[in-house]
Structure 1
Amino acid sequence: MTDTVSGRSGRVRSKRPPTIHDVAAQAGVSRGTVSRVLQGGHNVSPASQEAVNAAIRKLNYVVNRAARSLVTQRAGSIAFLLSETQDVFFEDPNITTLLRGCTTALASHDIPLVVMTAGTEAERRRITPYLSAHPVDGVLLFSSHRGNPMIEQLQRADLPFVCCGKPLGRHGAVSYVAADDREGARTMVRYLIESGRRRIATIAGPQDTPGGLERLLGYREMLAEHGVRYDKRLVASGDYTRASGEARMQELLTRVPDLDAVFVASDLMADGALIAIKRAGRRVPDDIAVGGFDDAPLAVTADPQLTTIRQPWARISDTMVRLLLAQINGEGTATVILPTELIVRASA
């Protein structure tokens, strides 16, 4: 509800909103101290910071972002850029999880997130000049396909950015945060072997992505370490969609009918694989054990629930935001690889 006061003319006018000067007076500090608190609290004593925050709460002070941008020469916002086609945005549950995590991490810094897609050449042509004008302070980039053109365009625009997943074919300094795909795959295949499975197939991810490459490498390594011969007939590649998981599983069942386990490089593809297995009249896990990767929300709604490798989504989001804000504040690039975890459920 808006506060009002009456003027001499009897008309009712709105009470002006509190300013940074009001906050400074209420907190008993200088305007410069308030400004430093609003910009991250650098060189501000804990007592002064608490006094300013208390004044902000009491006065219901809201930052004037336009005015702050003029002073700091910053846009005051971050872009969440999905360099994939829009259907991936709506189908892949991992994107929603990451978007939620990044939004939450930035909210603690009072920074809004702008969502953009650039999965087609036409979208990239439209978005490149927009980003070159620096309407955002940095970019959280979600695409791991080899030769992603957005990386070069962001570098040319001199915009700080952090990739989700290791960018392939890039030898310069690029910040990224990734789960340990190779070790996660090794863990799943080890579990299937130690559970007594011997004809273990895999539905790998796209081989122009780090997850596709690293998870297939982990699969092959663990077979070799247990003396299990690598058989190309037991390998198929999907594109991380449910439809591709179903189609590749059908191919594997036709090609190698006596397989007794399958490691699938994403939970969405694993859900598709379950459909194909049931259609073939096989039981999970009695006839074929199924292991996924991600621990996406659908892992617990699948029938049966998926044994999978959990990616630490919250830590990935938080770390990406932390690295990006550090870059914006003048720090260099950095890379972080986070551990995964085996989650055992009914499918294996």
Structure 2
Amino acid sequence: MTEGRSRRPGPRIEEVARVAGVSKSTVSRVINGEKYVSERSRQAVHRAIALLGYSPSHAARTLAGSKANAIALVISEQGSRVLADPFFAGVLRGVHAELAGRHVQLLLMMNQPLDGEDQVAYLTGGHVDGALVVSLHGDDPLPRTLHETGLPIVVGGRPLAGGAVPFVDADNFNGALGAVRFLISLGREKIATIAGPLDMAVGIDRLSGWRCGLAEHGMPVELVVHSDFTPDSGALAMEELLRRAPDLDAVFVAADIMALGALRVLQERGYRIPDDVAVVGFDDSVLAATAVPPLTTVRQDVEGFGRALTWRLLAELAGEEKLPQSMLLPTSLVRRASA
């Protein structure tokens, strides 16, 4: 990440709205010279702009009008990983479905060896009216930086950087908690986890749910290995867990794609699934039903997630007010042969 990407770009449209005592959409309508704004509000906005020295960006000018008729889906992963993981395909299907019939184009952006400041400049340069940002790592300032320019954005997943950026997420904590409670109900006593990365909220929240489930029954929470949402990393994590605890009898894997690697290692080592080791994944992706054996997993509606992200962004672009700052989508356990 470059230093320039985190640099404050100047007064934000939110500051103009606050000083003027109106909504962001009203500020945008005034900037666009549109009707249906009271003269009192119009004058208040102009006074606030002059007081703050605000220079409207393209994003602010088009917030109400959506003049580019396009939005961006920004996935903060390398293209090879995006194309290999069915999660991202599901999100894309949901985004596409929500845009159907709306005459809004979709621009897909993945991590490229470009300067972060160039990415911000492109997104705020009139090419799109808003952005969906998915798969953030760490305290990536991109959502906050875009938000401060006035570009409407919605983040997929709880952003670790915090701030006032709206987001949509699955209920990862309770999904993982339910998975552990289910394994305990089966009589499993030594339950490990292959957790996601600690620089992503999804990894943190699913790990917290696992820990909470074990703590409810006074069970140890030491059998943790972190992975990075690939089959190979899931296999390596499973090998490490077996070195540390060859007598483990269950493993909660924080993503189906990692569970594939874990299943392979268990079978190669001669463990019977689920007789010796029960395995539960997370996502209920297309991989779960075709795994050998078919994978018990926590289902999140990935396409619904993509649709919710898109709905929230389009609603803001349409000038709707009092929108939810965050949306938490439910999860449920799907039982198959692995547990």
TM-score (norm 1): 0.76
Change over 3 Å in CA distance of 1:107–1:268 after alignment to 2 = same
User: Does residue 156 of structure 2 align to residue 175 of structure 1?
Assistant: no
- d(CA) in 2 for partners of 1:134, 1:276: 50
User: Does residue 210 of structure 2 align to residue 219 of structure 1?
Assistant: yes
The share of aligned pairs that are identical, in percent, is 44
Give the counterpart of 2:69 among 72, 76, 85.
Answer: 76
- d(CA) in 2 for partners of 1:123, 1:273: 36
- Who is 1:85 aligned against? 78
Give the counterpart of 1:152 among 127, 144, 157.
Answer: 144
Structure 2 residue matching 1:78: 3-state secondary structure: strand
Shift of residue 271 of structure 1? 0.6
Q: State the AA in 1 paired with 2:119.
A: I
Structure 2 residue matching 1:258: 3-state secondary structure: coil
- Who is 1:129 aligned against? 121
Q: Tell me if the contact between 1:163 and 1:175 (Cα under 8 Å) persists in the aligned partners.
A: yes
Once the two structures are superposed, residues 306-344 of structure 1 have per-residue CA deviations (whole angstroms, 9 ceiling, x without a partner) of 100000223212211111012112336621001101000
- Who is 1:49 aligned against? none
- d(CA) in 1 for partners of 2:200, 2:159: 8
- Who is 1:40 aligned against? none
Give the counterpart of 1:341 among 328, 332, 335.
Answer: 332
- Who is 1:329 aligned against? 318
Shift of residue 134 of structure 1? 2.3
Structure 1 residue matching 2:114: 3-state secondary structure: helix
Q: Tell me if the contact between 1:103 and 1:112 (Cα under 8 Å) persists in the aligned partners.
A: no
217-226 or 146-155: bigger deviation: 146-155
Q: Tell me if the contact between 1:134 and 1:159 (Cα under 8 Å) persists in the aligned partners.
A: no
Structure 1 residue matching 2:283: 3-state secondary structure: coil
- Who is 1:208 aligned against? 199
- d(CA) in 2 for partners of 1:292, 1:247: 16
- Who is 2:99 aligned against? 106
- d(CA) in 1 for partners of 2:286, 2:219: 32
Q: Tell me if the contact between 1:291 and 1:347 (Cα under 8 Å) persists in the aligned partners.
A: yes
Please identify runs of 4+ aligned residues in structure 1 that moved more than 4 A.
none
Shift of residue 123 of structure 1? 5.5
242-251 or 140-149: bigger deviation: 140-149
Give the counterpart of 2:220 among 224, 229, 232.
Answer: 229
Give the counterpart of 1:307 among 292, 296, 308.
Answer: 296
Change over 3 Å in CA distance of 1:332–1:128 after alignment to 2 = farther
104-113 or 239-248: bigger deviation: 104-113
Shift of residue 260 of structure 1? 0.5
Once the two structures are superposed, residues 95-147 of structure 1 have per-residue CA deviations (whole angstroms, 9 ceiling, x without a partner) of 01100110111113222211111x25526344222112121111111123221
- d(CA) in 2 for partners of 1:295, 1:271: 12
Give the counterpart of 1:272 among 261, 283, 287.
Answer: 261
Unpaired runs of at least 5, structure 1 = 1-68
- d(CA) in 2 for partners of 1:243, 1:268: 9
Shift of residue 298 of structure 1? 0.6
Q: Tell me if the contact between 1:285 and 1:347 (Cα under 8 Å) persists in the aligned partners.
A: yes
Greater gyration radius:
1
Shift of residue 278 of structure 1? 1.1
- Who is 2:155 aligned against? 163
- d(CA) in 1 for partners of 2:161, 2:68: 31
Q: Tell me if the contact between 2:168 and 2:309 (Cα under 8 Å) persists in the aligned partners.
A: yes
Shift of residue 72 of structure 1? 4.3
Q: Tell me if the contact between 2:197 and 2:203 (Cα under 8 Å) persists in the aligned partners.
A: yes
Structure 1 residue matching 2:102: 3-state secondary structure: coil
Once the two structures are superposed, residues 67-92 of structure 1 have per-residue CA deviations (whole angstroms, 9 ceiling, x without a partner) of xx9x9461001111111121221121
123-132 or 338-347: bigger deviation: 123-132
User: What is the Cα-based RMSD across aligned positions, in Å?
Assistant: 1.9
- Who is 2:16 aligned against? none
Q: Tell me if the contact between 1:137 and 1:160 (Cα under 8 Å) persists in the aligned partners.
A: yes
Aligned residues: 276
- Who is 2:24 aligned against? none
Give the counterpart of 2:176 among 179, 185, 192.
Answer: 185
Once the two structures are superposed, residues 190-223 of structure 1 have per-residue CA deviations (whole angstroms, 9 ceiling, x without a partner) of 0000011111000000011111111111111111
Give the counterpart of 1:319 among 308, 312, 318.
Answer: 308
Change over 3 Å in CA distance of 1:121–1:228 after alignment to 2 = same
Higher RCO, Cα 8 Å, sep 6+: 2
Change over 3 Å in CA distance of 1:73–1:219 after alignment to 2 = closer
- d(CA) in 2 for partners of 1:206, 1:199: 22
Give the counterpart of 1:97 among 86, 90, 94.
Answer: 90
Once the two structures are superposed, residues 276-323 of structure 1 have per-residue CA deviations (whole angstroms, 9 ceiling, x without a partner) of 111111111111110000001111111111100000223212211111
- d(CA) in 1 for partners of 2:227, 2:79: 18
